[in-house]
Amino acid sequence: MANNSSPGYKALFFREAALRQQAEERQQQADELQRQAQRERDQGRERTRQTTFAELIQYCHNYFSRSLRAESPSHSTTGKIPPPTGKCCPLQLLPWTDCAVLHPAMSTDAAAGWPAG
């Protein structure tokens, strides 16, 4: 009768277990690469998709609502600033006193004129 505990069977068993472990690791790596590629595709689609009008308004609101901050003098304009010859330039800025009343209505009217989506 054959002896089941012979070194040949044990070696084959351990070799098979090691191969199975390596195959599992390769499969996990392949799955992770596939998930990463899918994430990158999704991010690319999100970056290049068309922005809706409502999103544009929201992004503008978020961006323009941020507080202004002064930069260091090294980032400032140096020398003389040329006059705005041939360019539109306000001569006087006046406060918009009824902005809080008119602005929401104008935003609603503008958004109503654009298709959703």
d(CA 12, CA 2): 16
Q: pTM of the prediction?
A: 0.41
Span 62-85, average pLDDT:
83
CA distances, 108 to each of 52, 61, 105 (Å): 15, 14, 5
**Beta carbons within 8 Å of 110's beta carbon, 6+ residues apart:** 53, 57
Q: What is the pLDDT of residues 31-56, one digit of tens each?
A: 999 999 999 999 999 888 888 888 88
Query: What are the structural domain ranges in the chain?
Result: 8-65
Percent of the chain scoring above 70 in pLDDT: 86
| Contact predicate 52/117, CB 8 Å | yes
Kindly indicate the confidence band of residue 1, based on its pLDDT and cuts at 50, 70 and 90.
Answer: very low
18 has pLDDT over 80: yes
